[in-house]
Amino acid sequence: MEIQNIFVVGAGLMGSGIAQTALQSGYTVTLNDQREEALDRAKAGINNRLERLVEKGKMTEEEKADCMSRLTTDTRLNAAAKADLVIEAIFEELSAKREIFQSLDAICPASTIFASNTSSISLTALGAATNRPEKVVGMHFFSPVPVMRLLEIVFGLRTSQEVLDAVKEVGKKMGKWLILAKDKPGFIVNRALLPMLNEAVQILDEGVGTVEDVDNGMKLGCNHPMGPLELADMIGLDILLEVMQVFYEDLGDTKYRPAHLLRKMVTAHYLGRKTGSGFYLYENGKKLAVNPVLTREHSLFDQQ
């Protein structure tokens, strides 16, 4: 099963990163999103990142031009009609992903493989939304996709070995280190990582330590390259909340219950780097300071 044409659904940070990595690996890519402005932004971002590689001597101008020549953007799902592999990278919601796969099932040839970049949702459930459950598989990339080496392959109950072999070849061509996970909530990496991030938020909410103390504790005490609250900001607090809710609902253990402060941060639209504020404040992606809402004192006016 040879794969050459890849259709990426979702032009956000993950989708554009997957598209860029596929282009650099020699694939022809169509990047899809409902919003034209999102596609324009993603294409410009890919072009800029490739230009930086040229400036650093890691890519030639000719190689960059070749990559961009193999990129197409389209707002229509019908553009997937010739895709060998679809990689869905939209937000973490089962109903939305199922709807995408159901639509693509009627558009794509029977040979097309459907992959999801989901970090927690059941591939068996996604496969059941199609007439090709044996061709539905998880390809969980890590952000930023062009830099992070890991690719977590997840197999549903009906995923075929032929499909696993095909996506393995794609992953190897992309230069990724592959790990294989069963279809359980969170799979391997996020099942271990995200409860730790949620617990860090709980520790902060209980006043056990400050934002900086929690992060420095894990960086300097456990040799983590990034503190858990800073990492949560990078992932997106809304995504962390969505995944923890999936864990809590599917696994039924209170240790997976989302921290109350996490819910409040998402409600207040403090989502992390992408909104310029989470546990820290950001400008153009650069961390500036702790979000002052987490440090300020409140008091009533003196009463006579």
- Catalytic residue, chosen from 5, 88, 140, 242, is 140
Catalytic-role residue among 16, 32, 116, 119: 119
Q: Which of 116, 190, 198, 291 is labelled catalytic?
A: 190
HEC string of the chain equals CCCCEEEEECCCHHHHHHHHHHHHCCCEEEEECCCHHHHHHHHHHHHHHHHHHHHCCCCCHHHHHHHHHCEEEECCHHHHHHCCEEEECCCCCHHHHHHHHHHHHCCCCCCCEEEECCCCCCHHHHHCCCCCHHHEEEEEECCCCCCCCEEEEEECCCCCHHHHHHHHHHHHHCCCEEEEEECCCCCCHHHHHHHHHHHHHHHHHCCCCCHHHHHHHHHHHHCCCCCHHHHHHHHCHHHHHHHHHHHHHHHCCHHHCCCHHHHHHHHCCCCEHHHCECCEEEECCEEEEECHHHCCCCCCCCCC
Q: Active-site residue 140, yes or no?
A: yes
- Tell me if residue 152 is catalytic: yes
Annotated catalytic residue within 16, 88, 120, 152: 152
Write out the catalytic residue numbers. Answer: 119, 140, 152, 190
